[in-house]
Amino acid sequence: MKKLFTMVSGVLVSALSFAQQQPPQQNWHLQSKDVEKVYGTGVLKAYNELLKGKTPKPVVVAVLDGGLDTLHEDLKANLWRNPKETFGNQDLDGNGYKGDVFGWNFLGGENGQVTNESVEYQRVYYRYKDQFANVENEKEVKKNDLQHYRSWVLSKSLLKKADSIAPVDFRAKQVKDDYFNIKDRFYGNANLMGDPYFHGTHVGGIIGATRDNGIGMDGIAGAVQLMGVRVVPNGDEHDKDVALGIRYAVDNGAQIINMSFGKRVSPERKLVEDAIRYAEKKGVLLVNAAGNEGTDIDSEPHYPSPFHMKGNSRASNMITVGASGATEAGLVAPFSNYGDQTVDVFAPGVAIYATIPGNKYSPLSGTSMATPVVAGIAALLKSYYPELTAKQLKFIIEQSVTKIDFPVTKPKSGGTKVKMTELCRTGGIVNAYNALVMAEEMTKSK
């Protein structure tokens, strides 16, 4: 199998490593173990056996990503539309974002938008090099600077020979906001179709491509409205953009937020954490990717993290997702990050066929693809059981997994077999059919 794509912010990977495997069917992630004999999600079985004759209510899902093809034949019918806004340079709804009909681009400027960007450890190392280069012990660092110092130390350890020159600050040149002022939040533009919107378009299709229209592929949730929030360039996302992207989505009615991105270093982690807490208070579910380095993120954190900086408590509205394959032999994707404390569930993330720009379709692999599978199931549950809270959605999705009772191959271990419970909290693969059965039981018992 040829290399089909490149890495985007550490969460999209090439299918090259699966060249020796038999490619699964295009919609295998919608299939089930008992019917089609693959470790899919049981979505097709659920529609056939549980949902006929039932009427869903629309659910707004925000796609925090690199953009979204708002003209795609399989997406345009299911796009979120701001009811009080029109295209143009006016802010009719008074939310501070002009012409945000389909969402907002926090990587935009007056004359265009950010496409390429450096990785975070490069930015952090050179930003704080003069301040911390001579520090020998963190006890010498002021309390208010401690988080930045720790980020700098980690960044220094990640430097490569190619990092001998400070990176270009592409974002600052284009966006021109006061990056260190979270109150400076009305920047960007309404154009969601700037590179790399390839990635976000694929993610959006997995969640909510139009079902049963006879073209392309079917998304998981039929009654969905996809809100585009552009925060991820070709390179690492900036914490401020992620934080404001979450807040924008929450304030404009998103009930579920998909976050198929991540990085090793998060210098402004508190901004993102505050936004996660804000979403928690507003009852919004966040679904985020575990990452594609094949490492244990209990010991090597991947951000955004479900754990809070103070007290190490855990966000109650956040699901972290690893990637799985179709068969028992390849159940755990060899690229997927894992962690029995941090990763909640695994979901199909190998060769997932979905939308790409220009009315096209392609199979892609990554925890980026596993994450919208879970967000799609959450939207499916919410659309048929709208009374379910974010915490209940998380509980149901986690408790209804297909438990894996056989040894699986630990990523990057040389073939070592372990229990699935050593790789994620629940020890299983998400199961939409089981989740809908549990949702029915939970809502009936009220």
How does pLDDT run along the chain (446 residues), one tens digit per residue? 223 333 344 455 444 334 334 456 789 999 999 999 999 999 999 999 999 999 999 999 999 999 999 999 999 999 999 999 999 999 999 999 999 999 999 999 987 899 999 999 999 999 999 999 999 999 999 999 999 999 999 999 999 999 999 999 999 999 999 999 999 999 999 999 988 899 999 999 999 999 999 999 999 999 999 999 999 999 999 999 999 999 999 999 999 999 999 999 999 999 999 999 999 999 999 999 999 999 999 999 999 999 998 877 999 999 999 999 999 999 999 999 999 999 999 999 999 999 999 999 999 999 999 999 999 999 999 999 999 999 999 999 999 999 999 999 999 999 999 999 999 999 999 999 999 999 999 998 66
Domain boundary among 110, 132, 167: 167
Question: Residues 113, 132: one domain?
Answer: no
Nearest-angstrom CA–CA distance, 40 and 348: 6
Query: CA–CA separation, 341 vs 346, rounded Å?
Result: 13
Query: Is the bond preceding 407 in cis, omega lying within 30 degrees of 0?
Result: no
247 in the same domain as 129: no
Q: What is the CATH number of the domain that holds 261?
A: 3.40.50.200
Residue 282 sits in the same domain as residue 344: yes
**Catalytic annotation, pick one of 14, 155, 368, 383:** 368
> Is 4 within a domain?
no
- End of a domain among 104, 139, 167? 167
Q: Are residues 134 and 112 in the same domain?
A: no
- Of the residues 167, 197, 225, the one at which a domain ends: 167
Domain region containing 149? 119-167
- Is 69 inside any structural domain? yes
What is each CA distance from 410 to 46, 260, 331, in whole angstroms? 31, 22, 10
145 and 284 in a single domain? The answer is no
**DSSP H or E stretch at residue 27:** none
Structure tokens of 298? 């209990």
Give the pLDDT score at 446. Answer: 61
Cα separation, 203 vs 224, whole angstroms: 14
pLDDT value at residue 18: 40
Q: Which of 9, 32, 65, 241 is catalytic?
A: 65
Whether residues 21 and 163 fall in one domain: no
Residue 164, amino acid:
S
In a domain, 7, yes or no: no
Q: What is the DSSP letter of 423?
A: T
Same domain, 268 and 314: yes
pLDDT reported for residue 19? 33
Does residue 320 sit in helix, strand or coil? strand
Question: Does the annotation mark 148 as catalytic?
Answer: no
Q: Is 163 in the same domain as 229? A: no
435 and 385 in a single domain? The answer is yes
Q: Is 397 within a domain?
A: yes
- Buried-state track 271-281, b at ≥16 Cβ within 10 A, e below 16: bbbebbeebbe
- Long-range contacts of residues 386-391, Cβ cutoff 8 Å, at least 24 apart: 386/57, 386/59, 387/443, 387/446, 388/439, 388/442, 388/443, 389/283, 390/255, 390/280, 390/283, 390/284, 390/285, 390/316, 390/317, 391/316, 391/317
332 and 286 within one domain = yes
74 & 132 share domain: no
Among residues 5, 2, 1, the alpha carbon closest in space to that of 364 is found at 5
Q: Are both 34 and 132 inside the same structural domain?
A: no
- Residue type at 366? G
The answer to whether residue 10 is domain-embedded is no
Amino acid 11: pLDDT: 52
Q: Which pLDDT belongs to residue 435?
A: 98
368 is catalytic: yes
Give the H or E element holding residue 128. Answer: helix 120-132
Q: What is the pLDDT of residue 111?
A: 79
Contact criterion met (CB below 8 Å) for 289 and 368 = yes
| Residue at 49 is within a domain | yes
pLDDT of residue 445: 66
Options 199, 202, 238, 302, the catalytic residue: 199
Q: Is residue 26 part of a domain?
A: yes
Residue 29 annotated in active site: no
**Domain count across the chain:** 2
pLDDT at 20: 34
- Residue 310's pLDDT is what? 81
* Residue 75 falls inside a structural domain: yes
